[in-house]
Amino acid sequence: MQTNDRGFVLPAIAMIGACVLVFLCGWHIPLMEIDAVQYANISREMLHSGHFLQVYDRGKDYLDKPPMLFWLSALSMKLFGVSDGAYRLPSFLFALLTIYSTYRLALLFYRKEIALLSAVLLASCQALFLINHDVRTDTMLMGWVSLTLWQMAAWYRNRSWRHLCCAAVAIAGGMMTKGPIALMVPAFCFGSHFLLQRSWKQFFRWEYIPMALLIAVLLIPMCIGLYEQYDLHPGKLINGRPVQSGLRFFFWTQSFGRVTGESQWHENDSFFFLFQNMLWSFLPWILFFIIGLVQDIRHWVRNRGKLSLQEEGISTGGFLITYCALGLSHYQLPHYIFVVFPLAAIIGAKAFYRIFFFGAPVKGKRTLFLMHVVLFGLLWVALLLLLFLPFSSISRVLGGAAVVAAGGWVWLLVRRTRRTRTKRETPYPRLLLLTVYTMVAINFFLALGVYPALLDYQLSSVLSREMKERHISPERLYPYKMDEEWALDFYTDHLYRHTNDPSGLAPGSYVLTNRQGVDSLGTHPGLELVYKGGYFHVSTLDLLFLNPATREKELTPVYILERK
Domain end point (choices 310, 326, 357): 357
Taking the CA atoms of 181, 186, 192 and 194 in sequence, report the sign of the dihedral they define: negative
Q: Is residue 14 part of a domain?
A: no
Let me know if 360 is exposed, middle or buried by CB neighbors in 10 A (0-12, 13-18, 19+): middle
Instruction: Summarize pLDDT for 354-403 with one digit per residue, the tens.
Output: 887 776 666 778 888 889 999 999 999 999 999 999 998 899 999 999 99
| 231 and 214 share one domain | yes
Q: Is residue 13 part of a domain?
A: no
**Residue 510 phi/psi, 5° resolution?**
-125, 145
Q: pLDDT over 70 for what percent of the chain?
A: 92
DSSP 3-state percent helix, strand, coil across the chain (nearest 5): 65, 5, 25
Q: Which residues contact 359 (CB under 8 A, 6 or more apart)?
A: none
| 321 and 412 share one domain | no
| 81 and 150 share one domain | yes
- Confidence (pLDDT) at 419: 46
- Confidence (pLDDT) at 417: 47
Which among 94, 98, 120 has a CA at the least distance from the CA of 9? Answer: 120
Domain end point (choices 357, 373, 407): 357
| 545 and 434 share one domain | no
DSSP helix/strand/coil, 61: strand
Domain end point (choices 455, 471, 495): 455
Q: Is residue 4 part of a domain?
A: no
Taking the CA atoms of 309, 147, 353 and 381 in sequence, report the sign of the dihedral they define: positive
What average pLDDT does the segment 35-64 reach? 89
Neighbouring-strand partners of residue 331: 267
Q: Are 541 and 391 within 8 A, CB to CB?
A: no
Q: Is residue 6 part of a domain?
A: no
Query: Is residue 522 pLDDT above 80, yes or no?
Result: no
Q: Which residues contact 309 (CB under 8 A, 6 or more apart)?
A: 197, 199
Instruction: Summarize pLDDT for 141-188 with one digit per residue, the tens.
Output: 999 999 999 999 999 999 999 999 999 999 999 999 998 999 999 999
Q: How many CA atoms lie within 13 A of 379 on its CB side?
A: 25
pLDDT band at 515 (very low <50, low <70, confident <90, very high): confident
Which among 427, 396, 401 has a CA at the least distance from the CA of 412? Answer: 427
DSSP, residue by residue, 360-429: --HHHHHHHHHHHHHHHHHHHHHHHHHHHTT-TTS-HHHHHHHHHHHHHHHHHHHHHHHHHHHHT--SHH
- Confidence (pLDDT) at 243: 81
Which among 558, 548, 280 has a CA at the least distance from the CA of 391? Answer: 548
| 297 and 400 share one domain | no
Query: Is residue 107 pLDDT above 50, yes or no?
Result: yes
Q: Is residue 16 part of a domain?
A: no
Full-prediction pTM beyond 0.95? no
The domain total for the chain is 3
C-alpha distances in Å from residue 504, one per residue of 296, 436, 500, 530, 560: 69, 59, 9, 18, 16
Alpha carbon 88 to chain centroid distance? Answer: 11
In angstroms, the CA 392 to CA 434 distance is 30
Let me know if 493 is exposed, middle or buried by CB neighbors in 10 A (0-12, 13-18, 19+): middle
Determine how many CB atoms are found less than 10 A away from the CB of residue 458. 22
Higher pLDDT, 503 or 551: 551
What average pLDDT does the segment 65-89 reach? 94
Which among 336, 342, 38 has a CA at the least distance from the CA of 181? Answer: 336
Q: How many CA atoms lie within 13 A of 291 on its CB side?
A: 16
| 403 and 520 share one domain | no
| 26 and 104 share one domain | yes
Let me know if 32 is exposed, middle or buried by CB neighbors in 10 A (0-12, 13-18, 19+): buried
Instruction: Summarize pLDDT for 293-329 with one digit per residue, the tens.
Output: 999 999 999 998 898 888 899 999 999 999 999 888 7
In angstroms, the CA 195 to CA 151 distance is 20
Determine how many CB atoms are found less than 10 A away from the CB of residue 79. 9
| 490 and 428 share one domain | no
- Confidence (pLDDT) at 360: 63
Q: How many CA atoms lie within 13 A of 420 on its CB side?
A: 16
C-alpha distances in Å from residue 112, one per residue of 3, 353, 355, 445, 526: 10, 11, 17, 32, 73
Q: Is residue 281 part of a domain?
A: no
Q: How many CA atoms lie within 13 A of 249 on its CB side?
A: 25
Q: Is residue 50 part of a domain?
A: yes
In angstroms, the CA 119 to CA 136 distance is 21
Rounded mean pLDDT of the chain? 87
Determine how many CB atoms are found less than 10 A away from the CB of residue 136. 21
pLDDT band at 1 (very low <50, low <70, confident <90, very high): very low
In angstroms, the CA 170 to CA 148 distance is 5
What average pLDDT does the segment 185-214 reach? 94
Q: pLDDT over 90 for what percent of the chain?
A: 51
C-alpha distances in Å from residue 345, one per residue of 18, 122, 341, 368: 18, 5, 6, 18
- The boundaries of the domain holding residue 213 are 22-276+287-357
What average pLDDT does the segment 196-210 reach? 93
| 182 and 229 share one domain | yes
DSSP helix/strand/coil, 561: strand
Instruction: Summarize pLDDT for 224-264 with one digit per residue, the tens.
Output: 998 898 888 888 777 777 888 888 888 877 777 666 556 55
Query: Is residue 54 pLDDT above 50, yes or no?
Result: yes
- Confidence (pLDDT) at 265: 59
| 434 and 474 share one domain | no
Which among 390, 460, 542 has a CA at the least distance from the CA of 554? Answer: 542
**Residue 56 phi/psi, 5° resolution?**
-130, 150
DSSP helix/strand/coil, 479: strand
Strand 477-480 to 510-513 pairing: parallel
Q: Are 76 and 91 within 8 A, CB to CB?
A: no
| 366 and 316 share one domain | no
Strand 527-535 to 477-480 pairing: unpaired
Query: Is residue 69 pLDDT above 70, yes or no?
Result: yes
| Window from 147-161, 344-358, 485-499 with minimum mean pLDDT | 485-499
| 451 and 464 share one domain | no
Alpha carbon 89 to chain centroid distance? Answer: 14
Q: Is residue 106 part of a domain?
A: yes
Query: Is residue 100 pLDDT above 90, yes or no?
Result: yes
- Confidence (pLDDT) at 2: 46
